[in-house]
Amino acid sequence: MIDITVICALLIVLGIILYVILDGFDLGVGIIFPFAPDEASKNKMMSSIAPVWDGNETWLIYGGGILFAAFPIAYSILLPALYIPLMLLIFALIFRGVAFEFRMKEKKSRWIWDYSFTFGSTLAAFSQGLILGSLIEGFEVENMQFSGGSFDWLTSFSITTGFGVVFGYALLGASWVILKTENQTKEWAKNITKPLNFILGLFVMMVSLKTPLQYPEIADKWFSFPNFFLLLPIPLITFFCWLKIFDSLSKGRDLQPFIFTVAIFILSFVGLGYSLWPYIIVNNLTIWDLAAPAKSLQLVFITLMISFPIVLGYTLFVYKLFKGKVLEKDSYY
Amino acid sequence: MEILNSVELLSRIQFAFTVSFHIIWPTINIGLGLFLLILEISWLKTKKIEYLNLYKFWVKIFALAFGIGVVTGIPLSYQFGTNFSIFSNMAGPIIGPLLGIEVMTAFFLEAAFIGVMIFGWNRVPKSVHLFATIFVVLGTHNSAFWVIAANSWMHTPQGFEIIDGIIHAKSWTEIILNPSFPYRLAHMLTASYISVSLLIAGVSAYFLIKKISIETAKKGLSVSLLVLSFLAPLQIFLGDLHGLNTKEYQPAKIAAMEGLWNTQKGAPLVLFAIPDEENEKNKYEIKIPKLASFILTHDFDGEVKGLNEFKKEERPPILPVFFAFRTMVGLGVLFFLIAFTGIILRFRKKLYSNHIFHKLCMICTPLGLVATISGWWVTEIGRQPWLIHGVLKTKDALSPVKPEVISISLLSFIFVYCLLGISFLYYASRLVKKGYNFEKNEDWLKVATHTTHLTTKNSKND
């Protein structure tokens, strides 16, 4: 008998991973945007993400929407707890989302929207990091209701993960720019990829140490025998990918830096997911405690089974349409 | 101030403000998407450059509106949880899956293919581009279907049972096809098409007055007024049906809309009044005897329930419902008259030369949207104090959040949305001022038409 609660939860996690990678690279382009060498590079960077950012961001709505549909209790506990960082995220996404449309309409006022684009992208990444950090630290819950204060999410750890996500997305963005552009734009992106990769390595290590140190249960999951040996590939492959980024840069590869960055993100997620599973509220409430009644879960399950592959299919189709280096003719309208 | 301490009022104002601002953009996109599809098909069939010009112009407005629609839609999907967490917890098993289906069948479809619609001209053949437009239109309509299904269920809930304080689904067919859903969906879709007709008519009229891109502008005015002359009367009919449905399921809302205090047979139609909630009567009333009864029961002596039938705490706020209703109906009648005048002018061959009529059309440009928002205010304020009619009151649905925090987010929303609105108007008006005079050497136009020479020549003349 398959447990559809588990499948729904896994599909939400998959959606979040897709979100982090897809919107991650376009938010990242926004973060490194002001440092681009010239106006032409900026326009190319913008053109490389303009046709796809809408679809990328939809995975965030997916995350919220399916969490609400399959785990309404989790939704009703987490969202009030995360009120302020969520509002920051929402406002950040507003500023950067409209920048796409507005900056292309007129040259004179373009600088306003360039600022708005970078500000929004950076703040969005930072607030996602805040949310990630506070999810790892957990929340006070009484009677299936959030019972903590308005600022419980604000800790030195969540601020650290905030910066971690900003640098991580910047790395994704830079390696995306390597993939999508040529000449000096690409050279510039390669130059900033190295230090960004170094910084991301530090943050990944920090979060990987923090979780087992704070929660003995999680430490046990990782370091007991035989788990330790079974799980050892996760950190090892992550480390390998990290090294390969430096390596592929010096060999002048275009696609590899992006692929290995994505791999680091996926592996970090798998590791984190393994640590927290099956809890949604750390060490307190599991996916089964917070799931919707069977009749609702079944509808969500059927919907996802049918539509998830279709969505993936046409998303891939659209990416294929716009694949390759950015062309001059791809400019707006 | 009292408002600043009330989580209920602040949450309601914030949701009302963000949803009212948001609804403008989907209203534009539902109708405009369909219009673009019709233009693209007409262009592919007839090869007339006016259709392509119209497409090219309106797709820019569409993209602007779509961008704002996406970013202002995200706060809504999260506010159910941030501000109404008890509601999310209790009704999540019903509302959640419906919105989940919306995400899967609408949002992804729109977001994936709007990129192709705008940027794809040089990358895909014409047939694929047409399909992209079709998918976007399908997406906007799917979205309307599911979100209105969820919304209507909260007005006329059925097909559920409550176990341990949580609403469980019993029959999804009953939940989705709840009694007010077909009326609300039809009324809203028509509202969207009417709003867009007025938008296009207004802009085309401006071009005719300014004598820019005349041939294309004529086409725009002609098509939009033709559509309006079918839809304006249809909308009045649909509105009447929707009202009858509301009378059956939410009589307090109808009493507030009509401004009726006492239950009576042969109730008058109150054209204007200032309802006085304290003394439970109308001031400065202007009314037509027995007409409300006739409209609502189709019998001059039919009985209509008044507000006094309901306890004070079970009544919706009267003033906003009463006035929003009059705004909506008044505008509906105005649109009907505009459409009618358009028909007469068309028969007299003066549709393109009568500048007074053109100015009237210009004034009406945003009024379809105003009517749509008014309509939503009627139905949404009119459902208070209930969030889910007869099941959950708004005051019992709130999140454990501090009022100060909501005050700050509310103020930020007001500030940011004002900026958004102003920016949209600024860029949209710049687009309109440029008209259909597109710059030379535009790549996609050449590639898309495959008749480079002819096209550039025509668009210069136009």
**pLDDT tens, position by position, B224-283:** 999 999 999 999 999 999 988 898 899 899 888 888 888 888 888 888 888 888 888 888
Distance CA B328, CA B266 (A): 24
Query: A294 to chain B nearest CA, in Å?
Result: 9
**Taking 90 as the threshold, does the pLDDT of residue B52 lie above it?**
no
Share of chain B above pLDDT 90, in %: 53
Alpha carbons A189 and A167: distance in angstroms, whole number: 14
> pLDDT band at B391, cuts 50/70/90?
very high
Phi-psi region of B324 (alpha: psi -120 to 50; beta: other; left: phi over 0): alpha
Task: Indicate the residue type of B188.
Answer: M
Higher pLDDT, B320 or B449: B320
Share of chain A above pLDDT 90, in %: 47
User: What per-residue confidence (pLDDT) applies to B238?
Assistant: 94
Mean of the pLDDT values across residues B292-307?
86
User: What DSSP letter does each residue of B120-139 carry, written as one string?
Assistant: GGGTS-HHHHHHHHHHHHHH
A66, B103: Cβ pair inside 8 Å?
yes
Q: What is the pLDDT of residues A46-66, one digit of tens each?
A: 888 888 888 888 899 899 899
Give just the sign of the alpha carbon dihedral B193, B196, B198, B201. Answer: negative
Average per-residue pLDDT in chain B? Answer: 87
Question: Any chain A CB within 8 A of the CB of B76?
Answer: no
Domain locations along chain A: 4-325
Minimum distance, in Å, between the CA of residue A274 and any CA atom of chain B: 26
Low-confidence ranges of chain A (pLDDT < 70): 1, 328-333
8 Å CB contact between B151 and B184: yes
Q: What is the mean pLDDT of residues B40-44?
A: 91
Comparing CB atoms, the residue among A80, A100, A106 nearest residue B427 is A106
Q: Is A76 close to B401, i.e. CB distance below 8 A?
A: no
Residue B175 reports pLDDT greater than 90:
yes
Q: Quick one: pLDDT at residue A247?
A: 92
Closest Cβ–Cβ partner in A72, A86, A91 for B82:
A86
Predicted local distance difference test score (pLDDT) of residue A112:
87
Q: Output the pLDDT for position B291.
A: 84
pLDDT reported for residue B194: 96
Cβ atoms of B271 and B287 closer than 8 Å:
yes
Q: Predicted confidence band at B1 (pLDDT cuts at 50, 70, 90)?
A: low
Q: What is the pLDDT of residues B94-120, one digit of tens each?
A: 999 999 999 999 999 998 898 888 887
Q: Which pLDDT tens digit goes with each residue over A300-316?
A: 999 999 999 999 998 88
Residues of B in contact with A90 (CB under 8 A): 74-75, 78
Q: How much is the pLDDT for B451? A: 31
Q: What percent of chain B has pLDDT over 70?
A: 94
How many Å apart are CA A175 and CA A258, to the nearest integer? 5
Q: Which of residues 361-400 of B touch A (CB under 8 A)?
A: 399-400
The arithmetic mean of pLDDT across residues B380-405, rounded, is: 91
* Distance linking the first and last C-alpha atoms of chain B: 58
Other C-beta atoms within 10 Å of A1: how many?
3
**What pLDDT is attached to residue B227?**
93
